[in-house]
């Protein structure tokens, strides 16, 4: 074994998943390709990471086909994605072999990172919890709800994709704040789960009578809508917003596979004007300098049993495309993760 390395790079390849073609509608397996290359060596200031857990994010679908807050992926490029990794070799990086780090290692077994581009992870829970409630989507929920929405106790908070990675943390956190929480999700099984997690009311957004079901669930109107989806659901919730209400624009998944849902809903700007509704977007990266402090707060909620981590772990890097396709269709419950190497969680829900 090469001195100072945790792996033997001469006997190990780096399996990768690449963008094979740009999707224009529903995502398919043939939009991805796979290859295997040599494990790279770190240069000065770099670390070589063995990626243990990969975060599957709806945004990856957008990164494949358009310029967003990051450049569009190019053909043949490794799929971008957040990873929890172990340092297996390093070169004057300040990190030690064996350390755990969070970064953007992508859909591959090994990745190089500059020391300033990763965050150290102090392990206190199973790895899946570090990538779900304490990971990128837990932080998104925290900053979107607490900083952008800032609801007061007693406020009615509605959250879409409520059984997903971001939504479940938004709902559980809003309950801790003392809000009345209404969750939207796409199946009875997910609605049952949300009720068990303590949501005050739940509504299936696929219900053709969505507006009246939501009005019944929110007898005092909606003070804060945490919008993970955009599209027709946003249009419906907008019509129920209270005066001086707030819409936290987190994402627009309804339009990622279906561009016809990516248009502005009716009611903008009319409802915003007449009801003085604030609509504000944000990116979790806006708060990167505060991630450690937020992670402490979320860890406290988890330790005290106030927030239950919710994640689904799928085994094997090769299953990452299937995991993203499934996520866009609502197959996931909680944070969707792919285990690339090693033990991830004793408590995770595993897909049969």
- Residues at the site binding ligand NAP, with contacts judged by CB under 6 A: 57-59, 137, 140, 160-161, 163-167, 185-187, 190, 205, 228-229, 231, 233, 250-254, 282-284, 327, 330, 332, 336
User: Which of 47, 233 has the CB closer to ligand NAP?
Assistant: 233
Which of 314, 305, 324 lies closest to 79, judged by CA? 324
DSSP secondary structure code for residue 263 in this structure? S
Distance CA 287, CA 289 (A): 5
Which of 17, 295, 344 lies closest to 136, judged by CA? 295
Q: Is 27 helix (H, G, I), strand (E, B) or coil?
A: coil
User: Which of 88, 229 has the CB closer to ligand NAP?
Assistant: 229
- CB of residue 166 vs ligand NAP: minimum separation in angstroms? 3
- CB of residue 58 vs ligand NAP: minimum separation in angstroms? 4
Distance CA 6, CA 97 (A): 7
Distance CA 277, CA 248 (A): 11
- CB of residue 94 vs ligand NAP: minimum separation in angstroms? 27
- CB of residue 35 vs ligand NAP: minimum separation in angstroms? 27
User: Which of 39, 165 has the CB closer to ligand NAP?
Assistant: 165
Secondary structure E strands in the chain: 13-19, 32-38, 46-55, 83-91, 100-103, 110-114, 119-120, 156-159, 180-185, 201-204, 222-227, 241-249, 278-281, 311-315, 335-339, 349-350
- CB of residue 191 vs ligand NAP: minimum separation in angstroms? 9
Backbone angles phi, psi at 281, to 5 degrees: -95, 165
Residue 241 in contact with residue 221, Cβ under 8 Å? yes
Distance CA 38, CA 35 (A): 10
154: left (phi over 0), alpha (psi -120 to 50) or beta: left
- CB of residue 335 vs ligand NAP: minimum separation in angstroms? 6
User: Which of 110, 199 has the CB closer to ligand NAP?
Assistant: 199
User: Which of 9, 251 has the CB closer to ligand NAP?
Assistant: 251
- CB of residue 331 vs ligand NAP: minimum separation in angstroms? 7
Residue 161 in contact with residue 336, Cβ under 8 Å? no
Provide the token pair at 110: 């090994």
User: Which of 113, 165 has the CB closer to ligand NAP?
Assistant: 165
User: Which of 88, 279 has the CB closer to ligand NAP?
Assistant: 279
- CB of residue 237 vs ligand NAP: minimum separation in angstroms? 11
User: Which of 130, 190 has the CB closer to ligand NAP?
Assistant: 190
């Amino acid at each position: 074994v090469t001195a100072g390395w945790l792996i033997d790079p001469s006997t190990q390849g780096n399996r990768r998943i690449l963008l094979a073609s740009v999707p224009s509608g529903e995502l398919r397996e043939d939009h991805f390709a796979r290859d295997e290359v040599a494990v790279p060596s770190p240069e000065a200031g770099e670390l070589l990471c063995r990626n243990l857990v990969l975060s599957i994010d709806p945004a990856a679908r957008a990164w494949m086909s358009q310029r967003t807050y990051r450049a569009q992926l190019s053909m043949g490029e490794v799929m971008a994605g957040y990873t929890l990794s172990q340092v297996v070799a390093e070169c004057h990086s300040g990190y030690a072999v064996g350390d755990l780090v969070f970064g953007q290692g992508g859909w591959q077994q090994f990745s190089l990172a500059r020391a300033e581009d990763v965050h150290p992870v102090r392990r206190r829970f199973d790895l899946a919890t570090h990538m779900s409630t304490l990971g990128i989507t837990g932080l998104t929920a925290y900053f979107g709800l607490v900083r952008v929405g800032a609801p007061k106790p007693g406020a009615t908070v509605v959250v879409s994709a409520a059984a997903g990675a971001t939504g479940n943390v938004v709902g559980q956190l809003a309950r801790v704040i003392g809000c009345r929480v209404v969750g939207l999700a796409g199946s009875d099984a997910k609605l049952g789960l949300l009720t068990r997690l303590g949501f005050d009311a739940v509504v299936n957004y696929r219900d053709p009578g969505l507006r009246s079901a939501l009005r019944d669930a929110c007898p005092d109107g909606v003070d804060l809508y945490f919008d993970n989806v955009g599209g027709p659901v946003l249009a419906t919730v907008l019509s129920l917003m209270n005066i001086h209400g707030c819409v936290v624009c987190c994402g627009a998944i309804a339009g990622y596979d279906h561009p016809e849902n990516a248009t502005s809903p009716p009611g903008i700007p009319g409802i915003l004007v007449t009801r003085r509704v604030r609509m504000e977007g944000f990116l979790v990266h806006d708060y990167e300098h505060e991630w450690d402090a937020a992670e402490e707060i979320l860890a406290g909620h988890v330790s005290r049993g106030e927030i239950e981590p919710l994640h689904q772990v799928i085994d094997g890097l090769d299953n990452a495309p299937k995991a993203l396709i499934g996520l866009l269709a609502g197959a996931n419950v909680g944070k969707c993760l792919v285990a690339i190497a090693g033990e991830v969680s004793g408590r995770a829900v595993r897909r049969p």
